[in-house]
Amino acid sequence: MKRSHQLDALDRRIVSLLQVDASLTHSDLADQVGASAASCWRRIKALEQAGVLLQSVRLVDPSSIERDVNVLCNIRMRSHAPDARKLFEDFVNIHPEIVECFSMSGDWDYLLRIVVSDVSDYNKFLMDTLLSHPSVSGASSHFALSMTKYTTVYPL
C-alpha cells in the first residue's frame, strides 16, 4: 500500500490553490499563501517528486466537443483470472471514450464512465466494441440525466 506524503499547512494551501488553477505563477501563488516565490517553487518540485502533484492539464467543456452524454456502465467479466483482467484493462486504456474505470466489489466487476455524443453513438460502441470483447460477459448501462457535481479537487 502506498504511504501518503505528509503535507504541512503551507503545502496544503499550495496544493489546494493549484487544484483550482494550475496556471498560477509561482509569484501569484506566493502572494496567496504568504511565502516567497522561490519557496513555492521548491515545495512544488518536492510535491511533484513525492507523487503528490501529477501532471497539469486543462479541462474541456464536454458540450463544446459534443461529448456531453455520460454513461455509467457496469461490466461483468467472464473470468477473474489475472490475464483476463489485464486484457480488459488494456482494452479500456486504448478507448478514449472510456474516461474512468474502477474495479469494483459487489455484483459487478468494473464500473466505466463512458462519454459519447448521443445514444446512437453509445449503442454502436456497446454493441460493436464493448460487448464483443472476449473478457466481457455482460453490461448494464445507466445514462446520466444531468451532472449535479463534478470536481477534480480533492479535499485536504
Cα–Cα dist 48/67, whole Å: 31
Q: pLDDT digit string (tens) for 46-73? A: 999 999 999 999 999 999 999 999 999 9
CA-nearest of 151, 93, 12, 122 to 101 is 93
Q: pLDDT digit string (tens) for 84-100? A: 999 999 999 999 999 99
Whole-prediction pTM: 0.88
Please determine, for residue 21, whether its predicted confidence score (pLDDT) is greater than 70.
yes
User: In the CATH hierarchy, which top-level class contains the domain 62-143?
Assistant: alpha beta
Q: How many contiguous H segments (helices) and E segments (strands) does the chain have?
A: 5, 4
Q: pLDDT digit string (tens) for 96-128? A: 999 999 999 999 999 999 999 999 999 999 999
Confidence of residue 44 (pLDDT cuts 50, 70, 90): very high
How high is the mean pLDDT of the chain?
Answer: 95
CA-nearest of 15, 86, 10, 4 to 50 is 4
Contact status, residue 136 vs residue 75, Cβ threshold 8 Å: yes
Where are the chain's structural domains? 9-49, 62-143
CA-nearest of 132, 24, 104 to 113 is 104
Q: Looking at domain 9-49, does it have CATH number 1.10.10.10?
A: yes
Confidence of residue 2 (pLDDT cuts 50, 70, 90): low
